[in-house]
Amino acid sequence: MAKAATKERAEAKADRPEWRVKGELALNCNCDVFCPCVVSLGQARPSMGYCQAWLGVRIDKGRYGDADLSGLHVAMLLDIPGRMSEGNWTAALYVDELADDEQYQALERIMSGRAGGTTGLFTMLVGNFLGARREAVTYSTDEAGVRTVTAGRAIFGQVKLVDGADRGKPVNIENTGYWMGPTVTVGVGLKSKLRDFGRVWNFDGKSAEICSIDWRGP
């Protein structure tokens, strides 16, 4: 039985193409600054006992098999009823309207976890996937370092970096085991709202994080 299961997993992995995504992720949630989920690796309970969040991803360089994903963006809605590690997440995906059909399918597989690899944990943690749809997804950074993420009319989020003791240098959390990446920069929401799927969230003044990503699979 064990050998058969191992063989099935190996065959399933072989059916999935190699992929890699490099860029940046910004996330804003309803936790007080700073979200306890990062350093606890999802074991701590969020500030409010539950987590509501949006995230945006800027893909500077990416590939899924033969599909070039460079220059595209995605965003997500995340609604988590307790500790992140306990699962039962609700999620929705917004895919850059500039993506063609092949790119759209690749991004949906990656961000749903079905592509395996770094984001593969989503298949275990997301219990209710609300679906994916094309939107005008943007991710920009201004001269002050403020990140702005939009997804159609569903998400308008702005987050700024939190300065450390040395003015002009943000607070970084180094050497984490967090799924997004080992270095996470502490941020805070400015004007930050999500309105979709019956949810109306406001994250002004709430915890945010920015992270350089280098994800791969399967």
Write out pLDDT tens, residues 59-98.
Answer: 999 999 999 999 999 999 999 999 999 999 999 999 999 9
Share of the chain above pLDDT 90, in %: 89
Name the percent of the chain lying above pLDDT 70: 94
Quick one: pLDDT band at residue 19, thresholds 50, 70, 90? very high
pTM: 0.91
In one-letter notation, the amino acid at residue 151 is A
Confidence (pLDDT) at 144: 93
pLDDT on residue 12: 54
In three-state secondary structure terms, 75 is: strand
The contacts of residue 148 (CB under 8 Å, 6+ apart) are: 138, 139, 140, 141, 142, 156, 157, 158
Instruction: Return the domain boundaries, the chain.
Output: 19-211
Q: How many residues does the chain have?
A: 218
Tokens encoding 26: 């910004």
Q: CA torsion 64→66→68→73, rounded to 10°?
A: -30
